[in-house]
Amino acid sequence: KGAIVVLPPKRADTLRPRMKNIVVLISGRGSNMEAIVRRCASEGWPARVAAVISNRADAAGLVFAREQGIATAIVDHRAFASREAFDDALARAIDAFAPNVVALAGFMRILTAAFVQRFDGRLVNIHPSLLPLFPGLHTHARAIEAGCKVAGATVHFVTSDLDHGPIIAQAIVPVLSADTEAALAARVLEQEHVLYPLAIRWLVEGALERRDGRVLHVGNESQLLGSR
């Protein structure tokens, strides 16, 4: 009920041993999803984007995914009477692709605690602020209004607390005196397209360790990206 799945033709790369599966959830254009797909292919990760799933049939990112031969699924939240019922159907759609990583990339639904627990340690998100600052919406306007001198983006493991969870990596950009919300958002998004694929590559390569509520890179690579 409420789920439509489009499977691509079988490809040789789906048969590689030890390949990890990444499932990406989107609600719109999916620019971060595109960045993940492109970087995964160009850098030869030991993984593949196995599926892109959306709660909206008109999500533009689904078109890109299909063009890349990636399976897509639609689980329309409007088809379910409760958030719990939607999350259960969404989880079943995700599980069909045996995911090692589930990446939220502009997925505009608040997930239940049971869903988050089901994918604990595999569920990641990117948020357009330097968490714990400015969780929620309108992050760039709030950063400008607060007089922040830097803004940025954060990749984190998802917990039941909205826009909280152990931080995997962050990227910073300066807040310029003439910045508008749109101008700052555009510069932050450029960094997101670098930061999110990097963090997911670390995850699929087993390069991250969670220790005492913190996420550390086992090879001591910097988990902070900067931009002028």
Cβ contacts of residue 176 below 8 Å, gap of 6+?
A: 183, 184
- φ and ψ of 208, to 5 deg: -115, 145
What is the 8-class DSSP label of residue 10? P
Catalytic residue selected from 77, 127, 156, 164: 127
Cβ-based neighbour number of residue 209 at 10 Å: 10
SS3 state of residue 170? strand
Q: How far is CA 172 from the centre of its chain?
A: 18
Tokens 């509520």 belong to residue: 213
Judged by DSSP in three states, 203 sits in helix
37 by DSSP, 3-state: which?
helix
Is 77 an annotated catalytic residue?
no
Dist CA 153 CA 150 (whole Å)? 11
Q: How far apart are CA 16 and CA 30, in angstroms?
A: 26
Query: Catalytic residue numbers?
Result: 127
